[in-house]
Amino acid sequence: MSYEDVSSRATALRQVVKLVQEASETLISEWESPAPDAVPASEMNFEIPGRKAYDAQRLIIAALGSIQELVIDPHHRLVDFAEQYFEVRALHVAMEHDVAILLSKGGEDGVHVEELAKATGLEQKKLARILRVLSTQHIFREIAPDRFANNRITQALVNDEKLQAQVKCSSLGFAAASALPEALNDPIRGPSYETKDAAWPLAVGTDLPFFEWMGQQVPRSRAADKASPGAARGLYEPVVASPGEELVPRDDTKLYNLYLAGNSKSLGSPHLYDFPWKDLGTGLIVDVGGGVGSFDLQLARLYPDLRFVVQDQQTMTEQGVSIWEKEYPEALESGRIQFIPHDFFKPNPVKGADIYWLRHVLHDWNDDDCVRILSNTAEAMSLDSRLLVADITLIETLGDPYIKAAPKPLLPNYGVHVHHGFSLDISMMALMNGKERTHAEFRKLFERAGLKMVRAWECRSILGIIECRLA
């Protein structure tokens, strides 16, 4: 609805306000007396609301977008949205200098910006302006003139290295986004879905696609080189090692791996509870493109009979072994978890596993590459094997036959609540010409690979689970 007349806009606003009031009471009730299906933060270090609370949360968040559409002057809304990238960049600055950690030392009394400036090396008045714009968005809080403290949001960063990596790593996408208009207008890059033609190489000034750049071993003296040169970008200086200099992974690669582990917690934790893993007993799960095995680490602790094989590039599997040696060494020692370097564009060496798990894999690749990955997986499957794809499933603003629509007058896909998925879709476009997909788009890929989609599991996350078997 366009809401061009006052009457229709007023009716819609009353409906939205009523929805928010009802959902708020439900959420408060769930806060005060959590449902049995809620998972406390003390158990997972990441709170998972019960289904009723989750539904109330997403309704309230979706309503925020509808309220903006209904009450804000169009000119103000467009200009405000267009300039939000400055606020994002301010957050990058705060994260680069570990401001949340510095503020935690001051507790409720906070820290004066003069002290923060000394610790970060940033000019005092400019730093205050950075923190003030973030505080206006409820990221940090200003408790006295030029004195800042953490709030509930930023305090979560203090002892969570993976969450820090998730926020810091967004600067990689920012670099690619800066070159996206240029890439889309290019006669070669614009229509291409090849990884080498994405905006990323253009932004960084390299001829290497994203994953090749991330997997490159570089001289130790160049490991700290950043992939987000921003406005200063130009031709990337070739990586040349001095005689005898050690080659190591990039710092950005380590950060990216931690980002993936953080995503596994924040986006993937509900998958631990919203799929019946217990029914698998001592089943074998092959995590294809599983990174450092962060999801499997959570799953292994909850279901002690399950067995795992994690497959990824060697740099990932080596880092995964080091993480498991620190966090769950007995699983490595017993052979319950194995890390196997594997290229998923080649036949999978592990045959007939109970579950083949692809989380956040297919969105990195174009359709033809996805079919290659899926076909290699299908060839390894037995008739009893299942493929589980955990990826963001885009729900169009008109709705989706697999998902119950939001109540009117909210957008059927819950609007702002799912905006992160659509944002990631543009991120995939810019970084490696990948994409997030709808259920219909997934079904076409599965059919091309000799698979059939048998069920869509709706989880308490923007990532769902799609279950497939051999066709």
Which stretch of DSSP H or E encloses residue 218? strand 217-219
Contact indicator for 441, 447 with CB cutoff of 8 Å: no
Extract the tokens encoding 9.
């806009």
Residue 5 burial (10 A CB sphere; 0-12, 13-18, 19+): exposed
HEC profile for the chain?
CCCCCHHHHHHHHHHHHHHHHHHHHHHHHHHHCCCCCCECHHHHCCCECCHHHHHHHHHHHHHHHHHHHHHCCHHHHHHHHHCHHHHHHHHHHHHHCCHHHHHHCCHHHCEEHHHHHHHHCCCHHHHHHHHHHHHHCCCCEEEECCEEECCHHHHCCCCCHHHHHHHHHHHHHHHHHHHHHHHHHCCCCCCCCCHHHCHHHHHHCCCCCHHHHHHCEEEHHHCCCCCCCHHHCCCCCCCCCCCCCCEEECHHHHHHHHHHHHHHHHCCHHHHCCCCHHHHCCCEEEEECCCCCHHHHHHHHHCCCCEEEEEECHHHHHHHHHHHHHHCHHHHHHCCEEEEECCCCCCCCCCCCCEEEEECCHHHCCHHHHHHHHHHHHHHCCCCCEEEEEEEECCCCCCECCECCCCCCCCCCCHHHHHHHHHHHHHHHHHHCCCCECHHHHHHHHHHCCEEEEEEECCCCCEEEEEEEEC
* Residues composing the chain: 471
Backbone torsions φ then ψ of 160, nearest 5 degrees: -125, 90
Catalytic (active site) residue 138: no
CA atoms within 13 A on the CB side of 241: 12
Q: Which residues contact 98 (CB under 8 A, 6 or more apart)?
A: 120
Is the dihedral angle over the CA atoms 18, 60, 136, 421 positive or is it negative?
A: negative
Active-site entry in 97, 363, 417, 439: 363
User: Which of these, 346, 283, 275, 272, lies nearest to 311 by C-alpha position?
Assistant: 346
Q: What amino acid positions are annotated as catalytic residues?
A: 363
